[in-house]
């Protein structure tokens, strides 16, 4: 390490999200011991995009006098947040149609908009939403872009382009479904392939197979989607081959009661039961929402190690219900937190989502112990990484993992007196209290502002695109911009 590559991120508190068991491959503190969950007056040494060591600032600064120092003695340093579910496809339709429940909302807003999205809209909408994510501490975004495949050019590579510019880690998918599609199955898989190629060429993005919902795909398409997710074959016309592990999958499962009823009528099973029977869960699976579950559904998720994205804010906005997070965690299901899309949770603020997860659990169970601040913090960090099966590379501050981290301003009024650092982050702090965000060892936010993209230019660029989109979708009854 040289003075050009080594940086010490210091704080009065370093919350590592490390588990009590020793990390893999000898990872740990500078002396090789397991990384503690909390380091008082600590620091994180990063170089070449990777966490090199975690320890006290006194020890690490003495051992690495050449390292640049960032952060201060009162700051709180944490891993970057892992957003386990969202939709950059909604980046230009924030703050609209919140008077509807989910199925009504899909019919009134998402279905009219989807055919009119293009690559420029995908790129600009991702920049808009991604800047908000970064400013609220998100360093990894698991996204499902919902659109009709492009006629002249693929749409979804615009997401990857924007994520690279933002310096925001992405797990990207296209929410495919041929039921009601105007292009047909082959076009849907061509869009998968275009997104896969874009992710393969990216420094920070990886690809998953997106399935909008079980009910959104014909039997033929669902079978082909499973083959692509499990074995990495059966995609577009380019001979896609991911090797024996396949690509994994990102899917909505049992968000509302109507989905359960419809699938039961069509298949005689819940969507979760049908997905297991069809073989979907042989692929690493991230299931969004999972609100309307019975005991058998929960057992299926647990035995197949399906990760769950809990989206408390959007579930409340769309009146979908309360996911059984405590029951799932008791069964060993890995649960993370998602902000969901800019039209279903109009704010892309992870701080709001983390606080809401804890508060919703408490009011739902009418117990202050239903979810602690430390548990909510875990869901936002290493819990989300486990749900995505990325815990070996992100989600905690341990040597060998990606240098994705947040520095909270310890001199901000909300953090003036830290009695418990977890409660300070989850209940007291907001996005305004985030001083800097680092992704892959590079700063994406400094002094609270995104440094990789011009925010004002992006906002101005977005306005005519949003106006064109809602007018083309015929949303004059919902949007002032369409009139």
| Closest alpha carbon to 444 in 388, 406, 401 | 406
* CATH of region 7-79+396-450: 2.30.40.10
Element containing residue 446 per DSSP (H, E): strand 442-446
Question: How far is Cα of residue 77 from the mean position of the Cα atoms in its chain?
Answer: 20
Q: What is the pLDDT of residue 483?
A: 87
State the Cα–Cα distance between residues 299 and 445, nearest whole angstrom. Answer: 41
3-state secondary structure of 481: helix
Interatomic CA distance for residues 215 and 221, integer angstroms: 11
Q: How far apart are CA 26 and CA 6, in angstroms?
A: 21
**Where along the chain do its domains lie?**
7-79+396-450, 81-387
Alpha helix locations (H) across 29-89? 57-63
Q: pLDDT 10s per residue in the chain (483 long)?
A: 444 479 999 999 999 999 865 444 444 565 556 889 999 999 999 999 999 999 999 999 999 999 999 999 999 999 999 999 999 999 999 999 999 999 999 999 999 999 999 999 999 999 999 999 999 999 999 999 999 998 889 999 999 999 999 999 999 999 999 987 777 899 999 999 999 999 999 999 999 999 999 999 999 999 999 999 999 875 443 333 344 457 999 999 999 999 999 999 999 999 999 999 999 999 999 999 999 999 999 999 999 999 999 999 999 999 999 999 999 999 999 999 999 999 999 999 999 999 999 999 999 999 999 999 999 999 999 999 999 999 999 999 999 999 999 999 999 999 999 999 999 999 999 999 999 999 999 999 999 999 999 999 999 999 999 999 999 999 999 999 998
Q: Provide the greatest CA pair distance for the chain.
A: 67
Q: What is the pTM of this model?
A: 0.95
Question: Strand, helix or coil at 137?
Answer: coil
pLDDT of residue 175: 97
Domain 81-387 has CATH 3.90.380.10: no
pLDDT of residue 234: 58
Report H helices in 232-349.
Answer: 257-267, 271-278, 295-303, 312-317, 325-330
pLDDT recorded at residue 246: 79
pLDDT for residue 30: 52
């Amino acid at each position: 390490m040289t003075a050009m590559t080594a940086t010490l991120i210091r704080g009065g508190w370093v919350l590592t999200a490390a588990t009590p068991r020793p990390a893999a491959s000898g990872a740990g503190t500078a002396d090789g011991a397991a990384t503690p969950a909390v380091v008082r007056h600590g620091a994180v040494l990063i170089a070449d995009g990777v966490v090199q060591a975690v320890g006290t600032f006194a020890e690490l600064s003495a051992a690495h006098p050449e390292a640049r120092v960032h952060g201060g003695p009162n700051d709180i340093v944490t891993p970057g947040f892992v957003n386990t579910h969202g939709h950059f496809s909604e980046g230009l339709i924030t703050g609209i149609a919140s008077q509807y429940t989910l199925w009504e909302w899909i019919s009134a807003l998402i279905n009219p908009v989807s055919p009119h999205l293009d690559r420029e809209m995908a790129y600009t909408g991702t920049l808009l939403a991604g800047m908000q994510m970064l400013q609220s501490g998100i360093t990894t975004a698991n996204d499902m872009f919902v659109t009709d495949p492009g006629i002249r050019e693929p749409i979804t590579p615009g997401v990857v382009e924007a994520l690279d510019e933002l310096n925001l880690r992405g797990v990207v998918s296209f929410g495919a479904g041929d039921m009601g599609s105007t292009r047909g199955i082959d076009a849907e898989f061509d869009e998968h392939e275009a997104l896969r190629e874009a992710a393969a060429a990216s420094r920070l993005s990886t690809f998953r197979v997106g399935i909008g919902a079980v009910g959104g795909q014909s039997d033929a398409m669902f079978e082909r989607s499973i083959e692509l997710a499990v074995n990495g074959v059966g995609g577009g016309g380019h001979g896609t081959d991911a090797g024996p592990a396949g690509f994994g999958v990102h899917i909505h499962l049992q968000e509302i009661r109507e989905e359960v009823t419809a699938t039961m009528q069509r298949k005689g099973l819940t969507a979760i039961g049908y997905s297991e029977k069809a073989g979907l869960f042989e692929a690493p699976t991230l299931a969004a929402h999972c609100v309307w579950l019975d005991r058998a559904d929960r057992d299926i998720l647990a035995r197949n190690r399906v990760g769950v994205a809990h989206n408390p804010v959007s579930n409340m906005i769309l009146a979908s219900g309360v996911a059984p997070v405590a029951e799932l965690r008791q069964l060993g299901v890995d649960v993370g937190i998602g902000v969901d899309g800019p039209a279903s949770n109009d704010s892309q603020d992870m701080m709001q989502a983390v606080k809401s997860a804890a508060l919703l659990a408490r009011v739902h169970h009418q117990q202050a112990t239903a979810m602690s601040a430390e548990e909510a913090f875990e869901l936002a960090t290493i819990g989300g990484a486990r749900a995505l099966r990325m815990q070996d590379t992100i989600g905690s501050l341990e040597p060998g993992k990606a240098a994705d981290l947040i520095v909270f301003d310890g001199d901000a009024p909300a953090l003036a007196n830290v009695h418990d650092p977890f409660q300070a982050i989850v209940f007291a702090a907001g996005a305004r209290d985030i001083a800097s965000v680092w992704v892959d060892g590079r700063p994406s936010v400094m002094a609270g502002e995104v440094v990789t993209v011009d925010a004002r230019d992006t906002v101005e660029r977005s306005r005519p695109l949003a106006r064109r989109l809602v007018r083309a979708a015929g949303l004059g009854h919902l949007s002032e911009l369409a009139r």
